[in-house]
């Protein structure tokens, strides 16, 4: 009797949890007909937001991969004093509230910030420009790539890297031909996660870059701007972001099966981040 | 000048590796227990570990010289290192693995090692013996001037070992490359190497041919390592110009070696003969140990018989003829010439 009661309790909990998580997502699509949603997307505000989102995320994602990958490789393969501390620093932005990220970016790059006057004399103004959006995304979403990327490189057997060196490959070729392919699965998952986080970035961006249509207003910011003006349009953009997020998630799930050859398929979220 | 001069010091966790070796066109085995510094020595030659001082010269080329500030990176050393677990690239085919270091000779090497049919296979699909052949082919594809083998047998299961050992023996002879292999198994070393160095805690205790090590082990460690029985006792001059050793258990044995005070008595299993206790042997052996058989282990056509502190080796046929079995009282005998006295290390 007790066993059955417990099973029923678990089942009810599961149904409750799933319904609660799915309901808002379904509501976005069910409240207005698909035709109306699509129609609402054909609008200047949405088009501008889409372009700003694509451009800023494209740049930030590129920088994340180009800078983050070698940085992660170095942090994963070198042992040095204070390494644990450095790794924890990489994790800090992951748990930091977005508002703190925003105020921090202002304090660093804003006109009155730490580097603000230096940038000012160089004629560079960052606050409330597209560059600010890129910086906000880099700061908030970058660690979502960097930390699991370090974990992915750590799973590569150092003996294989040593073997490549004894077979005549310099450090660069060893990285490209051995480390990168073997960490590939983990890196792709990390990249997808970081991209999804970047596309959804809101708090730091609105504080540091503002919400100027066609300049700094990304889709997330446009939803916030529109929801008391045109709720249906906000819903439409919400639907668009849900589809984008789902696509990213699907990529993460499918990548390991495409890349059967890789040695690892690290657990996607928690373990690689908390390590 | 030797093909490879290796004279380095390298700090390890609890002691320093300090080894000086000159290796010719021969197979040299460094044997010792795990953690003795064997693998570090190989990695230093390959450039994967940086010694704290010393020099490594391969042919005409100085790979490392602490005084002259020379330290060539691994990719610039003509060294073929076969790792213990082979370290094949799991994401590359056999062909791409072998071709990683040099594409020119890939097909020749695949043919030579009889693995051409495995060219498109991934390492995970191969057996232990096949992996070893791929690893050897890969190391040779770069046309190395020295071949380094790290525990080449350790990753193999018992029944492939014998076959692979014979193959490897054949291959090393054909190659005629200076080769250093490290192993914890003296039998492997004796089968494969022209010369053997026994290493413990970073130092080479004795260098010589396998026969030399067995005939005259420098100390108790080498004796034990080469497979000898080691008995502890107290030596003093005995009758007939022999040395009399009172063993710790109270028994007395005689040796033709000279010694005094605390010594180790080394007796190799093949110098011990076993006879039923009823028929006290009247042969030339001076030393007899009478005890029940503690264990019998059959290895192929030989049987290892443990009698008291001694392990003797007899043929399977003899074991059957004498009806040896556990618990049976027997006499283990060995000649005074077969009892070698070695110094004991402080313990």
Q: Where are the domains of chain B?
A: 4-78+144-215, 269-335
Of B74, B89, B122, nearest to A166 by CB-CB distance is: B74
Is any Cβ of chain A less than 8 angstroms from the Cβ of B81? yes
Q: Is B34 exposed, middle or buried (0-12, 13-18, 19+ CB in 10 A)?
A: exposed
Average the pLDDT over A246-262 and give the result.
68
Q: Using the beta-carbon criterion (under 8 Å), do B89 and A262 form an inter-chain contact?
A: no
Mean pLDDT, residues B190-209:
91
Confidence class of residue A269 from pLDDT cuts 50, 70 and 90? very low
Which residues on B lie below 8 Å from A169 (Cβ)?
A: 75, 100-101
- Give the residues across from B341 on adjacent strands: B265
At A38-88, the pLDDT tens digits run: 888 888 899 999 999 999 999 999 999 999 999 999 999 998 999 999 999
The pLDDT > 70 percentage for chain B reads 97
Which residues of chain A does B73 touch, with a Cβ-Cβ cutoff of 8 Å? 165, 170
Instruction: State whether B142 and A167 contact (CB < 8 Å).
Output: yes
Q: What is the pLDDT at residue A263?
A: 39
pLDDT of B44 > 50? The answer is: yes
For residue A16, what pLDDT band results from cuts at 50, 70 and 90?
A: very high
The whole-number pLDDT of residue B324 equals: 87
- Model pLDDT for residues A169-197, shown as the tens digit of each residue: 999 999 999 999 999 989 998 999 899 99
Q: Which of B48, B102, B142 sits opposite A162 (nearest CB)?
A: B48
Sign, CA torsion A168/A173/A176/A179: positive
Structure tokens at A56: 């800023």
The residue in chain A having the minimum alpha-carbon distance to the alpha carbon of residue B140 is A167
Q: How far is B217 from chain A (nearest CA, A)?
A: 35
pLDDT, tens digit (0-9, with 9 covering 90-100), for B244-288: 998 888 888 999 998 888 999 999 998 898 888 776 666 767 888
CA distance A149 to chain B (A): 18
Q: Do A164 and B89 touch (CB under 8 A)?
A: yes
Nearest CA in chain B to A178: B89
- Give the chain B residue whose CA is nearest to the CA of A185: B91
pLDDT at residue number B275: 87
| Cβ contact, residue pair A166, B73, below 8 Å | no
Residues of B in contact with A162 (CB under 8 A): 43, 46, 48, 74, 83, 87
How far, in Å, are B33, B80, B88, B153 from residue B179 at the CA level? 20, 9, 20, 15
> Could you confirm whether domain B269-335 is CATH 2.40.50.100?
yes
Tell me which chain A residue has its CA closest to the CA of residue B87.
A160
Which of B87, B101, B122 lies closest to A168 in CB terms?
A: B101
Query: In this predicted structure, what is the pLDDT of residue B180?
Result: 95
Residues in chain B with CB shorter than 8 Å from the CB of A261 are: 90-91, 122
| C-alpha torsion angle, residues A14, A20, A25, A30 (rounded to 10) | 110
For the entire predicted model, the pTM comes to 0.81
More confident site: B291 or A164: A164
- Tell me the C-alpha distance between A259 and A274, whole Å: 25
Residue B87 tokens read as: 């370290």
- Across the interface, whether the CB atoms of B89 and A169 are under 8 A apart is answered no
B81 touches B181 (CB < 8 A): no
Contact between B81 and B42 under an 8 Å Cβ cutoff? The reply is yes
Which chain A residue lies closest to B77 (C-alpha atoms)?
Answer: A166
Please check whether the domain covering B4-78+144-215 is classified as CATH 3.40.50.300.
Answer: yes
Q: Looking at the complex, does the CB of residue A177 fall below 8 Å from at least one CB of chain B?
A: yes
Chain A nearest-CA residue for B96? A177
Q: What is the mean pLDDT of residues A115-132?
A: 83
Rounded to 5°, the CA angle A189-A191-A197 comes to: 105
* Chain A hits for B122, Cβ within 8 Å: 261
> Three-state secondary structure along chain A?
CHHHHHHHHHHHHHHHHHHHHHHHHHHHHHCCCHHHHHHHHCCHHHHHHHHHHHHHHHHHHHHHHHHHHHHHHHHHHCCCCCHHHHHHHHHHHHHCCHHHHHHHHHHHHCCCCCCHHHHHHCCCCCCCCHHHHHHHHHHHHHHHHHHHHHHHHHCCCHHHHHHHHHCCCCHHHHHHHHHHHHHHHHHHHHHHHHHHHHHCCCHHHHHHCCCCCCCCCCHHHHHHHHCCCCHHHHHHHHHHHHHHHHHHHHHHHHHHHHCCCCCCCCCCCHHHHHC
Burial class (CB in 10 A: 0-12, 13-18, 19+), B213: buried
> For residue B152, how many other CB atoms are within 10 A of its CB?
24
The number of CA neighbours under 13 Å toward the Cβ of A170 is: 2
Nearest chain B Cα to A158, which residue? Answer: B87
User: CA of A65, closest CA in chain B: separation in Å?
Assistant: 22
Tell which wins on pLDDT, A258 or B166.
B166
Cα separation, B293 vs A138, whole angstroms: 75
Task: Please give the torsion angle defined by the CA atoms of residues B274, B277, B283 and B289, in that order, rounded to the nearest 10 degrees.
Answer: 70
**pLDDT of the residue at A219:** 93
Q: How confident is the model over A229-238, as a mean pLDDT?
A: 91
In the block, residue with structure tokens 């966790």? B13
Over range B180-185, report the average pLDDT.
Answer: 92
**In a mutagenesis test of the B interface, which of A166, A173, A256 is the best target, namely the one with the most B β-carbons within 10 Å?**
A166
Ordered DSSP codes for B58-87 = ETTEEEEETTTTEE--GGGS-EEEE-TT--
Question: Across the interface, which of A170, A178, A262 has its CB nearest the CB of B75?
Answer: A170
Q: Report yes or no: A206 at the B interface, CB cutoff 8 Å.
A: no
Containing H/E element for B134? helix B128-140
Determine the average pLDDT of the residues in A13-27: 94
Q: Do A182 and B81 touch (CB under 8 A)?
A: no
Reply yes or no on whether the pLDDT at A275 is more than 50.
Answer: no
Comparing CB atoms, the residue among B73, B91, B102 nearest residue A182 is B91
Q: By C-alpha distance, which of B209, B152, B185 is closest to B32?
A: B185
Across the range B37-62, mean pLDDT stands at 93
Lowest mean pLDDT among A105-119, B144-158, B185-199: A105-119
The mean pLDDT of chain B is 89
pLDDT in tens, A143-153: 999 999 999 99
The CA distance from A161 to the nearest CA of chain B, in Å, is: 9
Nearest chain B residue to A162 by CA distance is B48
Q: Do B85 and A159 touch (CB under 8 A)?
A: yes
B233, HSE (Cβ side, Cα atoms, 13 Å): 25
Residue A114: what pLDDT?
A: 84
Quote the CA–CA distance of A77 and A82 in Å, as a whole number: 14
A165 and B73: CB-CB below 8 Å? yes
Best A157, A159, A167, A180 residue to mutate vs chain B (most B CBs within 10 Å): A167
Confirm or reject contact between B101 and chain A (CB < 8 A): yes
């Amino acid at each position: 009797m007790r066993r059955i009661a417990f099973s029923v309790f678990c089942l009810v909990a599961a149904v409750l949890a799933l319904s609660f998580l799915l309901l808002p997502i379904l509501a976005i699509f069910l409240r207005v007909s698909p035709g109306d949603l699509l129609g609402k997307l054909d609008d200047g505000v949405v088009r501008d937001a889409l372009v700003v989102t694509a451009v800023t995320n494209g740049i930030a994602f590129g920088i994340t991969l180009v800078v983050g990958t070698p940085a992660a490789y170095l942090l994963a393969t070198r042992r040095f004093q204070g390494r644990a501390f450095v790794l924890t620093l990489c994790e800090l932005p992951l748990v930091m509230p977005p508002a703190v990220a925003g105020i921090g970016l202002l304090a660093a790059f804003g006109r009155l910030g730490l580097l603000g006057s230096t940038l000012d004399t160089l004629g560079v103004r960052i606050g409330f420009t597209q560059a600010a959006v890129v910086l906000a995304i880099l700061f908030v979403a970058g660690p979502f790539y960097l930390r699991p990327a370090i974990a992915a490189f750590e799973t590569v057997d150092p003996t294989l890297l040593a073997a490549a060196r004894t077979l005549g490959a310099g450090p660069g070729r060893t990285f490209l031909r051995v480390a990168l392919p073997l960490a590939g699965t983990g890196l792709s998952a990390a990249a997808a996660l970081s991209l999804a986080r970047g596309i959804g970035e809101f708090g730091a961006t609105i504080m540091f870059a503002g919400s100027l249509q066609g300049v700094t207003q990304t889709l997330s910011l446009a939803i916030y701007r529109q929801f008391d003006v045109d709720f249906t349009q906000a819903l439409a953009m919400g639907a668009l972001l849900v589809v984008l997020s789902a696509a990213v998630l699907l990529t993460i799930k499918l990548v390991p099966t495409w890349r059967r050859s890789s040695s690892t398929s690290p657990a996607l979220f928690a373990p690689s981040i908390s390590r | 000048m030797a093909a490879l001069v290796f004279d380095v010091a390298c700090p390890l966790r609890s002691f320093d590796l300090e080894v000086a070796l000159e290796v010719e066109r021969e197979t040299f085995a460094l044997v010792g227990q795990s953690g003795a510094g064997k693998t570090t020595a190989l990695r230093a030659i390959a450039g994967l570990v940086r010694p704290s001082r010393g020099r490594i010269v391969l042919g005409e080329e100085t790979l490392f010289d602490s005084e002259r500030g020379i330290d060539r990176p691994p990719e610039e050393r003509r060294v073929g290192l076969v790792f213990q677990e082979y370290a094949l690239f799991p994401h590359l085919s056999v062909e791409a693995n072998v071709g990683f270091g040099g594409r020119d000779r890939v097909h020749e090497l695949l043919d030579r090692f009889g693995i051409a049919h495995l060219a498109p296979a991934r390492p995970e699909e191969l057996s232990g013996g096949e992996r070893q052949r791929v690893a050897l082919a890969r190391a040779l594809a770069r046309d190395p001037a020295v071949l380094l083998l790290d525990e080449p047998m350790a990753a193999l299961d018992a029944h492939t070992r014998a076959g692979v050992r014979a193959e490897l023996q054949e291959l090393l002879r054909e190659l005629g490359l200076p080769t250093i292999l490290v192993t914890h198994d003296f039998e492997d070393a004796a089968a494969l190497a022209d010369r053997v160095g026994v290493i413990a805690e970073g130092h080479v205790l004795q260098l010589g041919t396998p026969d030399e090590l067995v005939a005259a082990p420098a100390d108790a460690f080498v004796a034990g390592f080469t497979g000898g029985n080691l008995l502890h006792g107290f030596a003093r001059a005995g009758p007939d110009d022999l040395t009399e050793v009172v063993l710790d258990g109270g028994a007395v044995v005689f040796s033709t070696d000279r010694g005094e005070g605390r010594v180790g008595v080394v007796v190799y299993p093949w110098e011990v003969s076993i006879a039923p206790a009823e028929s006290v042997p009247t042969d030339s052996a001076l030393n007899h140990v009478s005890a029940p058989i503690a264990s019998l282990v059959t290895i192929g056509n030989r049987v290892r018989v443990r009698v008291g502190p001694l392990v003797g080796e007899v043929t399977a046929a003899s074991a059957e003829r004498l009806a040896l079995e556990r618990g049976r009282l027997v006499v283990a005998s060995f000649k005074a010439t077969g009892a070698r006295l070695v110094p004991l290390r402080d313990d």
